[in-house]
Structures are given as C-alpha cells and as structure tokens.
Homo-oligomer: A and B are copies of this chain.
Amino acid sequence: MRIVVLAGGIGGARFLRGLKAAAPDADITVIGNTGDDIHLFGLKVCPDLDTVMYTLGGGINEEQGWGRADETFRVKEELAAYGVGPEWFGLGDRDFATHIVRTQMLAAGYPLSAVTEALCARWQPGVRLLPMSDDRVETHVAIEEDGEQRAVHFQEYWVRLRASVDARAVVPVGAEQAEPAPGVLEALGDADVILFPPSNPVVSVGTILAVPGIREAIADAGVPVIGLSPIVGDAPVRGMADKVLAAVGVESTASAVARHYGSGLLDGWLVDSVDAGTVAEVEAAGIRCRAVPLMMTDLDATATMAREALALAEEVRA
C-alpha cells in the first residue's frame, strides 16, 4: 500500500511513527512543510523536515518533540557572546551540524529535495521524506505589536511571541510562485491513500496545499483522503493552532477544521471521542466522520489512530 502523508512538525512526526507501526509494510511518502523554514546565522533551518527526520530516525528530543536528544548549546551561547541572535530560537550544537551540512549542500547547488535525501541517508527514517517544494516559501504572520502593524516570520510569531498576540493574516510568502518538489505530484498520483495527520491546518497542511498543483493533485488522485483533527474539544492538542485558525476565519473546533478543508478535498475525518457530537455536522458537509480517541499519548495509541484512519479510508473506498 502506498500512503502519502502531508506533515508539519511535531504532530505529523508523531503520527508517522504510529503509522509506521500500524502499517509496517506500507510504502510511505511524506510531503513535508517547508513554510516554517528560516535562515538563522546564515544557515538554512528546516524545522518541520528535521522534526520528521529526527523523530523517525531516533534522534529526537522526546520530551520537547523537536531538536536533538542529549543536546548542548555551546555554539548558541558563543553567538550570544558576540551579540549575534536571535536568542529565542533554540538551536543546539548537534542540530547545528544538520543546518551546516544543508547550507553547504544548497550553496553547492543541490536542491532542498536532494539535500533532504542526503540527510535522510544517515537517519533512515523509514519513509520517503520530500519537501513540499525546492523553492523558498516562508510563512509570515501579520500582527499588531506595541500599536504597530508589522509582519513577522512564522517562527518569530510562534517561538518568540508564543502566539501571544492575534494573527491578523497568515501568508505563505513565495508559495504562489513555488513548484512542487520532484516526486511530490508523482507520489500523490500513485497513492492508494492520502492522510492529513493532526498537524496545524493553517501553517502546516495549509501551507503545503498553498503550493500550486498539490491541492489539485490530491483532489484528482481518486483515492481516499483522510484527515485527523488537531483540535480536541475546543482546543488544539498541542501548539496554538487556534490563533492561526482565527486569522483565516475558522473556528477552533474539529468540525470547523474539516469543513475548512472541505469535501472537495477530504473524504473522511476522524474526531476525538469527546467530539462525537460533531460527527453529524461533518457528515452533513459531505465528509465521512468517525469519533475515536485522538490523543497520541504513546506509540500504541498513535498506531491505533493510524489504523482507524486507514480503516476509514477502506470504508470510503468501498
């Protein structure tokens, strides 16, 4: 079975670990969000790709969900001693090596997809990890800070400001001109199932869908497209998805997110058991819906979620 997954960072990576356990023989291609990529200290940092790579490759800091295990921060401390920031972005020493290799390969002319493949040669994530695009896309967030309107990089909004101010708009700068990376459209065309893990619907999955051609390829694939709600009850399972959902005018509920994707894209949607009351509303929007436990508390629970998603796909197909 060929499964394609559109993944952001922590939520996507953890779901993928469950999916690999649930479908060990599946051929899994991950289309990773690169909209939160950022240039720091002259280096190209791809947080979501790295989170997927480290999580599936066994190098992740399990507690925080991003960055490397057993990490130190010597380089960052020294950069601060030079007065060079930003200090709010937690780049560790082991992590720096990844960005140094990536930046060096990009400077040598390799596209991001080839660089990602080279990095994965070490990590052996057990999936084919593709960036959504080799072109630069950077998500910016329009905010009002200290009475002034300004646009900040998504990482600044998310990490420095911790989404503490309202997002007035979320713009994936460069997405309109971007092309899907080599292999992306082919993977979607060859897929048996397409999954949206419980990743952020705006700045993770939404950014991937903003690359021209990807949304169309999903809609035209003619295979079940199944999503898992990142909202449980009235709150995001993790992160601050409600802030960016508000910016695009979407309520922070499992049902609203499904309707935001829409029946033109989604065939099936899993909501958490606590949201069983919204199943009828989602189905009324033309999307088959089931309520199951959606908390990725451990690998078993996550694998069960993945099995439920694949089961819903078969139900849709039949």
Q: What is the interface of chain A, defined by CB distance below 8 A to chain B?
A: 41-43, 72, 74-79, 81-84, 93-94, 96-98, 100-101, 103-104, 107, 119, 122
Contact = CB atoms under 8 A, between A and B. Distances in A.
B100 A42 contact: yes
Contact of A75 (B82, B84, B96): B96
Given A42-B103, A84-B101, A93 B122 contact: no
10 contacts: A41-B100, A41-B104, A42-B100, A42-B107, A75-B75, A78-B96, A78-B97, A79-B100, A82-B122, A93-B93
Copies of this subunit: 2
Interface of A is mostly: helix
A96 B104 CA distance: 14
Contact of A78 (B41, B43, B84, B93): B93
A79 to B, nearest CB: 5
A299 B43 CA distance: 40
Nearest to A76: B97
Given A41-B104, A78-B98, A83-B122, 16 more contacts: A41-B101, A42-B100, A42-B104, A42-B107, A72-B93, A75-B75, A75-B93, A75-B97, A76-B97, A78-B96, A81-B97, A82-B97, A82-B101, A82-B119, A84-B104, A96-B96
Contacts of A101: 41, 79, 82, 84
A37 to B, nearest CB: 17
A217 to B, nearest CB: 32
A122 B79 CA distance: 11
A122 B80 CA distance: 11
Contacts of A97: 74-79, 81-82, 84
Nearest to A97: B78
A75 B122 CA distance: 15
Give the residue among A74, A93, A104 with the most B Cβ atoms within 10 A: A74
Given A84-B101, A100-B41, A104-B41, A93 B74 contact: yes
A71 to B, nearest CB: 8
A68 B84 CA distance: 18
Contacts of A93: 72, 74-75, 78, 93
A104 B42 CA distance: 5
A33 B195 CA distance: 58
Nearest to A80: B97
B103 A75 contact: no
Contacts of A83: 122
Given A83-B122, A119-B82, A94 B107 contact: no
Contact of A100 (B72, B75, B94, B119): B75
A78 B59 CA distance: 11
Contacts of A76: 97
A117 to B, nearest CB: 13
A105 B40 CA distance: 12
A93 B76 CA distance: 9
A107 B106 CA distance: 15
